[in-house]
Amino acid sequence: MTKLLLAYKEILFLLLLVVISAVLPHPANVTPIGALGLFAGTYIRQRGFLFLPVAAALFADLSTVGVYSILVMFFVYTGHFLSALCGRYLVRHRSLFTRLPVAVIAASLCFYLLSNLGNWWVYQPHSWAGLVECYTLGLPYLLRTLLGNVLYSGLFFGAFVLMQQFLPKERVIGQV
């Protein structure tokens, strides 16, 4: 078990940073969880990359708001899951500087569409007017999600590019 923890210490450290950042006071939806998904999808080879943002969101929720509507949580966590897929299929093995902005926007939109669909299903009338109202009320959160994804993706990917330049290749997380 100790060997396994040492092998994944960079991933565990990144996950810890994300959870701490998500738990500290911040504007609603300006969190690093979407950026973690993008980063994990881009650089982590194992299938566990899919569950890093979901695990971070779960830890953050359990340490702050607790368990809320299971159905809404399903939609929210699926949105985080999709951020990892955006990293995998929109950025991995492609030009980071041209594809990362596309992935950030796609991940933000996926999260907005899914999380609001869950909120509509649980909290709004099941009508066209209820759906439109739910998505309209969610627009400020879309902008905050986009802001969080832009800021934290810049931080994660920028720091990683710098690490690749200054650390020996075997010490870089992209080799995991």
pLDDT at position 8 is: 63
By the 8 A CB rule, do 34 and 86 touch?
A: no
How much is the pLDDT for 170?
57
> What's the pLDDT at 88?
94
> What are the residue ranges spanned by the domains of the chain?
2-175
Contact (Cβ atoms closer than 8 angstroms) between residue 90 and residue 121:
no
Cα–Cα distance, 161 to 168 (Å, whole number) = 13
- Residue 149's pLDDT is 96
Q: 73 vs 81, 108, 146, CA distance in Å?
A: 12, 17, 20
3-state secondary structure of 108: helix
Task: Check: CB of residue 148 under 8 Å from CB of residue 32.
Answer: yes
Mean pLDDT per segment of 10 residues, for the chain of length 176 residues? Answer: 56 71 80 92 85 87 82 94 95 89 97 96 95 96 96 89 73 51
pLDDT attached to residue 2: 57
pLDDT at 168: 65
Give the pTM: 0.84
Instruction: Specify the pLDDT at position 169.
Output: 60
For the chain, the residue count is 176
Say what the pLDDT of residue 174 is: 53
- Distance between CA 5 and CA 25 in Å, rounded? 29
Burial category of 118 from C-beta neighbours within 10 Å (exposed 0-12, middle 13-18, buried 19 and up) = buried
